[in-house]
């Protein structure tokens, strides 16, 4: 259309220039230090004219899609929360799971049978030779895991839950024991015979169907937690080849029938070839929808992401500390989050949601948690909770990680589906410093105290 009115042309040109010059707006600035957690701060000033940016972020430079954040439902988590008054327990669950309120958890893990933070050893079928799973039962979970997960679903009905076993039923293992005693890395402790493999796939199916009957949908499973680790608590060593056979010929076909995804993991070694074994296996590879990494597995994630760029990669268990829940431990958690997301992870899961003070497991291992419950029926959120919340509160499912450029690299940036931009930034130096952050055509200069972490929420015009 041709427009001849010069006044209209001038007005349109002015409006277009104004729109193009509109800059992103900083709307929230939250900080945590060892002395003060989760403090809403005054918005930092815009950069001065001519000030050089320490970090440049462009909202169009997108990388992997983020599925969400969460933790693991463990039996000792539920028993510790039940030491509190009901309304206090509900307050914690609201903080963790209500959308947009607190931690904003969207994806969580659970064990299939006992793990190292169970009350004691159990599986869903300890009747030796019961290949038809006639004695299969989740009755144990009705006291702990089922009410725990249901309580979370009350506040987040769309919570996504995936599961993995720490050990098969003991009679399916060569050592006939829940632990990996007498086992060692690089061996198959599971009895790799057809009757056992078919029965174990049926065991997974019965677990998923039983939980569906309780109103809990499991969207994915991983076949074995830390399949290389011979532990004193529930565990089972497998070879990658043994898992490939199980996934490709038994578990994968069985779970496809009930619309549940299979992911490979959890991977706790820095050995990419173990992952390649399943992904390139002619039967198993077609069922694997993602890979989960934890502990030393963090050194394998980068290579797998490079070779399989469209494969979903999870951080499945944050390293769990020593039960002291210090600020130094929280800043290490920040380092882990930076590592996993920068190497391609799409989900990040903490380990213990809640523990009694001291964090000691049934098998004597003291670990950290997001919530600590004291015997006097009080509780506290830990430093690691607040550091995790600096990302999980604002980075929404479907967000894309953003590429960052510049000399300052102690940060992560994301673009949410609603167009908002989240910048999580730390200062691990011994003194405060100002950092100039440029986001598209706007720049901000927050002052970061020593040993601190911050979140900036930025709205695009």
CATH number at residue 424: 2.60.40.1180
Is 13 a domain residue? no
Last residue of a domain, one of 394, 425, 446: 394
pLDDT score recorded for residue 21: 54
Q: What is the CATH number of the domain that holds 341?
A: 3.20.20.80
**Both 191 and 120 in a single domain?**
yes
How does strand 411-415 pair with strand 400-405?
antiparallel
**Both 421 and 311 in a single domain?**
no
pLDDT tens, N- to C-terminus, the chain (461 residues): 444 554 333 333 333 333 445 899 999 999 999 999 999 999 999 998 889 999 999 999 999 999 999 999 999 999 999 999 999 999 999 999 999 999 999 999 999 999 999 999 999 999 999 999 999 999 999 999 999 999 999 999 999 999 999 999 999 999 999 999 999 999 999 999 999 999 999 999 999 999 999 999 999 999 999 999 999 999 999 999 999 999 999 999 999 999 999 999 999 999 999 999 999 999 999 999 999 999 999 999 999 999 999 999 999 999 999 999 999 999 999 999 999 999 999 999 999 999 999 999 999 999 999 999 999 999 999 999 999 999 999 999 999 999 999 999 999 999 999 999 999 999 999 999 999 999 999 999 999 999 999 999 999 98
Burial code of 370-387, b = ≥16 C-beta within 10 A, e = fewer?
Answer: bbbbeeeeebebbbbbbb
**Both 301 and 421 in a single domain?**
no
Last residue of a domain, one of 378, 394, 410: 394
Does the pTM exceed 0.85? yes
> How far apart are the C-alpha atoms of 166 and 186, rounded to whole Å?
17
**Both 223 and 369 in a single domain?**
yes
**Both 320 and 426 in a single domain?**
no
Is 111 a domain residue? yes
pLDDT score recorded for residue 50: 84
**Both 419 and 364 in a single domain?**
no
> How far apart are the C-alpha atoms of 452 and 430, rounded to whole Å?
10
Whole domain around residue 406: which residue ranges?
24-64+402-459
Is 220 a domain residue? yes
CA atoms in the 13 A half-sphere facing the CB of 405: 10
Last residue of a domain, one of 349, 374, 394: 394
pLDDT score recorded for residue 15: 34
**Both 267 and 329 in a single domain?**
yes
Please state the domain count of the chain: 2
pLDDT score recorded for residue 10: 35
Is 407 a domain residue? yes
**Both 218 and 251 in a single domain?**
yes
Is 10 a domain residue? no
Return the residue matching tokens 């039940």. 82
> How far apart are the C-alpha atoms of 458 and 43, rounded to whole Å?
11
**Both 173 and 112 in a single domain?**
yes
Cβ atoms of 105 and 156 closer than 8 Å: yes
**Both 59 and 173 in a single domain?**
no
Is 9 a domain residue? no
**Both 164 and 235 in a single domain?**
yes
pLDDT score recorded for residue 239: 98
**Both 273 and 199 in a single domain?**
yes
pLDDT score recorded for residue 71: 98
Q: Say if residue 343 is preceded by a cis peptide, omega within 30 of 0.
A: no
pLDDT score recorded for residue 13: 34
Is 15 a domain residue? no
Is 2 a domain residue? no
């Amino acid at each position: 259309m041709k427009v001849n009115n010069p006044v209209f042309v001038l007005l349109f040109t002015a409006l277009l220039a104004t729109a193009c010059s509109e800059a992103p707006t900083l709307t929230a600035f939250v900080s945590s230090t060892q002395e003060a957690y989760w403090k809403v701060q005054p918005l930092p000033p815009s950069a001065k004219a001519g000030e050089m940016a320490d970090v440049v972020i462009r909202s169009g430079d997108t990388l992997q899609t983020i599925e969400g954040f969460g933790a693991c439902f463990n039996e000792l988590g539920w028993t510790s929360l039940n030491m509190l008054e009901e309304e206090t327990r509900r307050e914690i669950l609201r903080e963790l799971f209500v959308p947009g309120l607190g931690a904003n958890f969207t994806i969580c893990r659970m064990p299939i049978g006992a793990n190292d933070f169970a009350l004691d050893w159990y599986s869903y079928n300890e009747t030796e030779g019961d290949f038809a799973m006639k004695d299969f039962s989740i009755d144990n979970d009705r006291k702990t895991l089922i009410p725990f997960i249901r309580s979370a679903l009350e506040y987040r009905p769309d919570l996504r839950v995936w599961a993995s076993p720490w050990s098969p039923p003991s009679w399916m293992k060569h050592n006939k024991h829940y632990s990996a005693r007498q086992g060692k890395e690089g061996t198959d402790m599971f009895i790799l015979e057809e009757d056992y493999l078919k029965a174990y796939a049926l065991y997974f199916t019965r677990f998923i169907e039983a939980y569906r009957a309780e109103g809990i949908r499991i969207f994915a499973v991983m076949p074995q937690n830390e399949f290389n680790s011979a532990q004193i608590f529930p565990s089972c060593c497998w070879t990658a080849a043994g898992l490939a056979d199980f996934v490709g010929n038994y578990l994968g076909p069985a779970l496809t029938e009930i619309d549940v995804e299979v992911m490979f993991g959890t991977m706790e070694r820095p050995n990419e070839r173990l992952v390649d074994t399943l992904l390139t296996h002619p039967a198993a590879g077609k069922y694997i929808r993602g890979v989960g990494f934890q502990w030393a597995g963090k050194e394998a994630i980068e290579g797998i992401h490079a070779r399989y760029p469209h494969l979903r990669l999870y951080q499945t268990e944050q390293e769990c500390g020593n039960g002291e829940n210090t600020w130094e431990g929280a800043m290490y958690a920040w380092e882990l989050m930076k590592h996993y997301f920068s190497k391609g992870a799409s989900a990040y899961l903490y380990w213990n949601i809640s523990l009694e003070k001291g964090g000691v497991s049934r098998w004597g291992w003291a670990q950290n948690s997001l919530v600590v419950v004291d015997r006097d029926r009080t509780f506290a959120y830990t430093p690691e909770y607040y550091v995790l919340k600096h990302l999980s509160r604002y980075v929404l499912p479907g967000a894309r990680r953003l590429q960052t450029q510049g000399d300052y690299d102690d940060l992560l940036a994301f673009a949410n589906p609603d167009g908002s931009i989240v910048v999580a930034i730390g200062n691990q130096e011994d003194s405060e410093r100002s950092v100039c952050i440029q986001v598209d055509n706007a720049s901000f200069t927050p002052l970061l105290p020593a040993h601190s972490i911050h979140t900036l929420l930025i709205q695009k015009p």
